[in-house]
Amino acid sequence: MASMVPSGTKETQIGDFDILKTIGTGTFARVYLCRPKSNSSNYYALKVLSMHDVVRLKQVEHVKSEKNILLEVNQCLKLLTAPI
């Protein structure tokens, strides 16, 4: 799978965030409210998956589809919020 990180930039790691609280749980994932350690004014939802459970429950294609949908939505949001 190709990296989504542009060449020459650092890949984001979970340690780059301050985890504030759990905002949701599911069968094989937990969603946290967090903010980057480098910029405390923005908040994000961070979904952490148990890949062992994803594979065991045969949800790999569903997770890939969810990722692709979120990437598409993110592109749309960037377009909508871009300065004109």
**Domains in the chain: boundaries:** 14-81
What class has domain 14-81?
Answer: alpha beta
Tokens matching residue 5: 């990180």
Give the mean pLDDT of 52-66: 93
Q: Which of 29, 39, 40 is nearest to 70 (CA)?
A: 29
- Can you give the pTM of this predicted structure? 0.70
Neighbours of 34 (CB within 10 A): 19
Of the pLDDT bands very low, low, confident and very high (cuts 50, 70, 90), residue 14 is confident
CA distances from 6 to 9, 14, 52 (A): 6, 18, 28
Of the pLDDT bands very low, low, confident and very high (cuts 50, 70, 90), residue 38 is confident
CA distance 76 to 16: 25
